């Protein structure tokens, strides 16, 4: 091979390396979704979101009004508006629903019968609310690590999810702070539902 051919080959390799390094461009931006997170006080909303954000559990303080967290995932960023679950706060929940693209409802699967009944009523109200009824729902049966925890099947039956949520996009998953991978998987399933809704909107 002549010196000219060798030089041309090296120049072409340099060009390919330059394109790979300098012309690749930034990675595509992850889609962002605005979600609302609701549930009674003590259901574990704040702790679960803090866990997903890798925040220290010592710094977790129960939400009294509302707070917003950006929860990063590999394929999306969830901007979660968490609403306090106290009696005097729940009546104002609907004021914060506007603009939501999905709903996270956290319930304490080991709570008293009275609290479970209240949680059921609040979930039914959310599922039928005009601003939420068409959105994907992730329902988390939290505190599965507690002895008194109800199973997912028990929660589904008690909350009458099959008849009430028929035709809606919803996921019911067990969770606890001890199982981060299962928690992340639940949110990944929610992201899939959000992406499906995006694709449907584009086709319309």
pLDDT of residue 170: 93
43 is in an annotated binding site: yes
CA-closest candidate to residue 183, choices 112, 68, 78: 78
Is 145 annotated as belonging to a binding site?
yes
Q: At what angle do helices 180-203 and 45-52 cross, to 10 degrees?
A: 90
Query: 14 among the known binding-site residues?
Result: no
Q: In the prediction, which pLDDT does 171 show?
A: 95
Taking the chain (204 residues) in runs of 10, the rounded mean pLDDT of each run is 49 47 60 97 94 82 84 95 94 95 98 97 96 96 97 95 82 95 96 84 56
CATH of 32-203, one of 1.10.540.10, 3.40.50.300, 1.10.150.120, 3.30.160.20: 3.40.50.300
DSSP letter at 108 equals: E
Geometric angle at alpha carbon 148, from 146 and 153, rounded to 5°:
100
The Cα 104–Cα 140 span in angstroms is 8
**Amino acid 201: pLDDT:** 60
To the question of whether residue 84 is assigned a binding role by annotation, the answer is no
CB atoms within 10 A of CB 27: 6
| Pairing status of strand 137-142 against strand 102-108 | parallel
For residue 7, give the 3-state DSSP assignment: helix
Residue 100 is predicted with a pLDDT of: 97
The verdict on whether residue 42 carries a ligand-binding annotation is yes
39 is in an annotated binding site: yes
Strand partners, 4: none
DSSP characters over 39-103: --TTS-HHHHHHHHTT--GGG----SSEEEEEEEETTEEEEEEEE--SHHHHTTGGGG-TT-SEE
Q: What is the DSSP string of 116-133?
A: HHHHHHHHHHHHH-TTTT
For residue 167, say whether it is annotated as part of any ligand binding site.
no
Per-residue pLDDT reduced to its tens digit, 25-78 = 555 688 999 999 999 999 999 999 999 998 877 777 777 788 999 999 999 999
Asked whether 34 and 100 are in contact (CB, 8 A), the reply is yes
Domain edges within the chain: 32-203
* pTM (two decimals): 0.84
Q: Would you say 63 is a known binding-site residue? A: yes
Flag whether 85 is marked binding: yes
Q: What is the pLDDT of residue 112?
A: 96
Q: What is the pLDDT of residue 110?
A: 97
Contact 22/13 with Cβ under 8 angstroms?
Answer: no
């Amino acid at each position: 091979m002549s010196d000219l051919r060798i030089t041309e080959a090296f120049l072409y390799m340099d060009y390919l390396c330059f394109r790979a390094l300098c012309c690749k461009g930034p990675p595509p931006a992850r889609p962002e979704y605005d979600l609302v997170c609701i549930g009674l006080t003590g259901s574990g909303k704040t702790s679960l979101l803090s866990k997903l954000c890798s925040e220290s559990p010592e710094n977790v303080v129960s939400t009294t009004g509302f707070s917003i967290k950006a929860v990063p995932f590999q394929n999306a960023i969830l901007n979660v508006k968490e609403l306090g679950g106290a009696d005097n706060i729940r009546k104002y929940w609907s004021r914060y629903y506007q603009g939501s693209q999905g709903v996270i409802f956290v319930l304490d699967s080991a709570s008293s019968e009275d609290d479970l009944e209240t949680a059921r009523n609040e979930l039914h109200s959310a599922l039928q609310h005009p601003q939420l009824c068409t959105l994907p729902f992730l329902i988390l049966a939290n505190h599965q690590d507690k002895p008194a925890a109800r199973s997912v099947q028990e929660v589904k039956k008690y909350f009458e999810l099959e008849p009430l949520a028929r035709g809606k996009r919803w996921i019911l998953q067990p969770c606890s702070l001890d199982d981060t991978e299962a928690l992340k998987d639940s949110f990944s399933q929610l992201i899939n539902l959000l992406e499906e809704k995006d694709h449907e909107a584009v086709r319309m």
